[in-house]
Structure 1
Amino acid sequence: MLSSPSTHTTIHGFVVGPHNRIANAASLAIAEDPGNIYNPLFLYGPDGTGKTELLKIIKELIIKNHGCNVVLVNCGQFINHYVESVRNNGVEGFREFYDAADVLLLDDIQKLGTGRGCREEFFCIFNKLFNIKKQIVITANCSPEEFSTFEARLTSRFSWGLVCSIGIPDFETKVAIIENKADSLGLKLTREVSSYIADSVLDGFRDIENVLKALLKESKDGKSNVSASFVKKIMRGKSGNKGVVSVESILKTVSVRFDVSVSQILSKCRSREVVLPRQIAMYLSKRLTKMSLSEIGGYIGGRDHATVIHANRKISKLVKRDRGVLLTIKKLENEL
């Protein structure tokens, strides 16, 4: 597998690129010295960007190097465990299970937003573990400041250690991820094929994995070279017709229409020539994709959900009073 100078693959098969380099380094640091550095470690970013994979690597390394009691649980499991304990009058057992952890890894904590009782239990567990220097790692799809339904006393604790964002992988990193995953599945991909997949509708690890598994299933033996035409056929079948609209495809289409580069749209540039296409890209992403506002903002230059809301309101008003903008939006939607 060829790799870009900006990417590398760890011994665990985890591809490190510009989007996750700091998160990966922080994860390795706490695996080396749990409880004494970056505690808690809060990792956030869009779905499918490798947060869960990092938790698994942390667990594996800590158990191997320290023999600790590591509890890795996603938020859904945590909630179900709590509800079941309440139902069976076993809340004390629930508390004892988590209090006994040397390391607690909780995935997708934003899902605690609907359960105040669960949040209260987690608050108590967090305090107890933190006070005795037990390592805590939390993942979410947004930053602590965006947890509108969480109590401030809880979200403030998320920032006591290190808060680290994970972005959408760039094109080169996607290619490396695709080739690494294909190797693990026994699929032989040419650079043309892996580049085609990276350049299409894929936004993260899950989409990449789903397409590669579909290719594996459809290919005759799973070991032969997969041609570009074969990949296109499979991906057309998965998407139904013209293909699923992604933020990436929106960015590319908008950049061509306005004659600005995607990197300019993602940058912090505030000139009107860049701000308008950036806001239109956010507007179209909200209309045409299933991504959350935080995910859209994270993809488009690491911005927050409030920026996406502002862009959507701005373009919605422009569409009503500026026929030129309206026609541009319609043309872009037709192209997409």
Structure 2
Amino acid sequence: MNKDIYNTDINSQNDIEQLWEKCLAIIKDNVNWRTYQTWFEPIKAVSLNDNIVTLQVPSQFFYEWLEEHYVELLGKTIKRVLGKAARLEYRIMMEGSSSTQRNPASINMPGSTHTRPPKENNFIDMPLKWDDPHNIKTPYAIPGLKRMQIDPQLNGNYVFDNYVEGDCNRVARSAGLHIAQKPGATSFNPLVVFGGVGWGKTHLVQAIGNEVRRLHPNKAVLYVSAEKFINQFIDHAKNNEINDFIHFYQLIDVLIMDDIHLFVPAVKTQDVFFAIFNHLHQSGKQIILTSDTAPRDMEGMQERLLSRFRWGLNADIQAPDFETRQAILRVKMRHEGLEIPDDVVKYMAYNIQSNVRELEGALIALFAQATLNKKEIDMDLAKRVMKNFVKTAAREMTIENIQKLVCDYYHVPYEKLLTKTRKREVVLARQITMYFAKKFTKQSLKTIGDHFGGFDHTTVIHSCQTVENLMETDTEYKENLMELLQKVQLASI
């Protein structure tokens, strides 16, 4: 290559980027793909003047990591593409600085002078050595912190033994058990658990943390909410202690962070978490995250973070089904030493469908009412307590309610039930719905038929007779009908 080509200034940003692309192509052949994505993709080439290439990097921490681990690779690559006289400088985008406030720093390459950026209030200070945790002012204020003195911030009641498995959470729970066995050494790193509020995300990730501590007592485990992390970062930034903040989190072997969707409006916090994430992941540490939404739906989250969330496993948790809700109540009863009639358990499980916390809260309230009033727990007491938790308690059963129950049970779209289609699954659901409508409502046969798109009363009579005949001749049909009948009865209480 003729190195004299680059002795004059190059003002075209396109030309600069093309030269850097050539460098990246060489680097990509010399590092693994994760290292390349983490430490080289975020770099932007901003200028080339007099053989000095200026690169923009996200942070001081990023610059120092490159200098410590990849200075030789960068030096050889730049010289290979631009010639022996080439030098490299960084422009560092720091916390608290605007897009125009940048500070250059020359990389230490053979034949160049090693310089550091001057300290400014809006710049992160130079980091401590990673193997020296002493004198770090931690977010949890433990003087003279040692690695194994980190308080995990875990709730000891959140364990796998009382985390009920169901179809709604089986994948996430199974992944959690694997992680607890070999934290940081499975393909589930990071593990991102997402789902609705009160569906058991926090219980699961804390159960992983507690299990890791039981199996690997030498591992440093920490649970922290994203809200607390953001507040800690703000406090440390005000006191010019961001370095201590970053290095504290780099000490963790298993980092569990709850509600990362709260990072979306916190751009500076995302930058710091990116640095922490990279260090932990490349060091073989385990990262476990929860969110109310899937990572792909986190509008406003930096793409570089989203790409890292996709490195491991994204496992969703659904709302617990009827059987799982019953099991959750029974586990809670066993833990609290309670005895509650089976019909009350089913009634509660049916009427609280979306939130495990409300389900457990209703159980506690029921027990409190029974204890304070010195009454036995029965259906009447349960109905009074449940009025404070759900609007559906003691509701009047309608044809529409029955239609939705049957459609949910047989996985038939509600709108299909109102057509005259002869598809077997729709006919089956329609016949059973008409049977229950006649049994549980006071509506006339004509009114029932009208609720299905205009069937006459003879169709309703025929449907009811068909259901009764099948109950006598088909055992499996009868078992399914009895299960559905129980659901309808509970809903009509």
User: How far does residue 45 in structure 1 lie from its aligned partner after superposition?
Assistant: 0.8
| Number of the residue aligned with 1:137 | 288
**TM-score normalised by structure 1 residue count:** 0.70
| Number of the residue aligned with 1:62 | 212
8 Å contact from structure 2 (residues 198, 356) kept in 1: yes
User: Deviation digits for residues 180-239 of structure 1, max 9, x if unmatched?
Assistant: 112222321111011000111341221112112212322226997511110111121445
User: How far does residue 257 in structure 1 lie from its aligned partner after superposition?
Assistant: 4.3
8 Å contact from structure 2 (residues 367, 377) kept in 1: no
| Number of the residue aligned with 1:25 | 174
Q: 5 Å matches for 1:13-52?
A: 13-37=162-186, 38-52=188-202
Greater mean alpha carbon deviation, residues 45-54 or residues 195-204: 195-204
The one of 348, 354, 376 aligned to 1:197: 348
| Number of the residue aligned with 2:416 | 273
Alpha carbons of structure 1 residues 55 and 275: separation in structure 2 relative to 1, 3 Å:
farther
Matched residue count: 261
Q: Distance in 1 between matches of 2:262 and 2:351?
A: 30
| Number of the residue aligned with 2:402 | 256
- Residue 169 (structure 1) aligned with residue 315 (structure 2): no
8 Å contact from structure 2 (residues 160, 204) kept in 1: no
| Number of the residue aligned with 1:12 | 161
8 Å contact from structure 2 (residues 256, 289) kept in 1: yes
User: Deviation digits for residues 43-92 of structure 1, max 9, x if unmatched?
Assistant: 11111111111111111111111120011111111111111111222211
Counterpart of 1:262 in structure 2: which amino acid?
A: D
Counterpart of 1:30 in structure 2: which amino acid?
A: I
Alpha carbons of structure 1 residues 222 and 121: separation in structure 2 relative to 1, 3 Å:
farther
Q: Any stretches of 5+ residues in structure 1 without a counterpart?
A: 1-9, 277-323, 325-334
Identity of aligned residues (%): 31
| Number of the residue aligned with 2:363 | 212
Counterpart of 1:256 in structure 2: which amino acid?
A: I
Q: Distance in 1 between matches of 2:194 and 2:258?
A: 10
User: Deviation digits for residues 85-119 of structure 1, max 9, x if unmatched?
Assistant: 11222211111111100111111111111211111
User: Deviation digits for residues 23-46 of structure 1, max 9, x if unmatched?
Assistant: 111000010001111111111111
Q: Distance in 1 between matches of 2:196 and 2:399?
A: 22
Higher helix residue share: 1
Between 1 and 2, higher relative CO (CA 8 Å, sep ≥ 6) is seen in 1
8 Å contact from structure 2 (residues 358, 389) kept in 1: no
8 Å contact from structure 2 (residues 246, 276) kept in 1: yes
Q: Which has the larger radius of gyration?
A: 2
User: How far does residue 159 in structure 1 lie from its aligned partner after superposition?
Assistant: 1.0
Q: 5 Å matches for 1:89-238?
A: 89-220=240-371, 225-238=376-389
Alpha carbons of structure 1 residues 191 and 243: separation in structure 2 relative to 1, 3 Å:
closer
Q: Distance in 1 between matches of 2:406 and 2:379?
A: 29
Q: Distance in 2 between matches of 1:216 and 1:177?
A: 16
Counterpart of 1:65 in structure 2: which amino acid?
A: L
SS at structure 2 position matched to 1:187 = coil
Counterpart of 2:264 in structure 1: which amino acid?
A: G
Alpha carbons of structure 1 residues 11 and 35: separation in structure 2 relative to 1, 3 Å:
closer
- Residue 87 (structure 1) aligned with residue 238 (structure 2): yes
Greater mean alpha carbon deviation, residues 155-164 or residues 218-227: 218-227
Alpha carbons of structure 1 residues 24 and 235: separation in structure 2 relative to 1, 3 Å:
same
Q: Distance in 1 between matches of 2:374 and 2:160?
A: 23
Q: Distance in 2 between matches of 1:83 and 1:144?
A: 24
SS at structure 2 position matched to 1:36 = coil
Q: Distance in 1 between matches of 2:410 and 2:229?
A: 42
Q: Distance in 2 between matches of 1:261 and 1:234?
A: 29
Q: Distance in 2 between matches of 1:93 and 1:274?
A: 63
SS at structure 2 position matched to 1:129 = helix
8 Å contact from structure 2 (residues 351, 392) kept in 1: no
Q: Distance in 1 between matches of 2:394 and 2:312?
A: 39
Alpha carbons of structure 1 residues 128 and 224: separation in structure 2 relative to 1, 3 Å:
farther
User: Deviation digits for residues 130-182 of structure 1, max 9, x if unmatched?
Assistant: 11110001111111110011111111111101111111111011001011112
Q: Distance in 2 between matches of 1:164 and 1:138?
A: 10
Counterpart of 2:205 in structure 1: which amino acid?
A: L
User: How far does residue 243 in structure 1 lie from its aligned partner after superposition?
Assistant: 5.5
Alpha carbons of structure 1 residues 11 and 153: separation in structure 2 relative to 1, 3 Å:
closer
| Number of the residue aligned with 1:3 | none
Counterpart of 1:156 in structure 2: which amino acid?
A: S
Counterpart of 1:273 in structure 2: which amino acid?
A: K
| Number of the residue aligned with 1:312 | none
SS at structure 1 position matched to 2:288 = strand
Counterpart of 2:198 in structure 1: which amino acid?
A: G
| Number of the residue aligned with 2:83 | none
| Number of the residue aligned with 2:131 | none
8 Å contact from structure 1 (residues 188, 223) kept in 2: no
SS at structure 2 position matched to 1:214 = helix
Counterpart of 2:402 in structure 1: which amino acid?
A: V
SS at structure 2 position matched to 1:226 = coil
| Number of the residue aligned with 1:53 | 203
Alpha carbons of structure 1 residues 162 and 179: separation in structure 2 relative to 1, 3 Å:
same
For the aligned residues, what is the CA RMSD?
3.1
8 Å contact from structure 2 (residues 383, 393) kept in 1: no
Counterpart of 1:261 in structure 2: which amino acid?
A: C
Q: Any stretches of 5+ residues in structure 2 without a counterpart?
A: 1-158, 420-450, 452-491
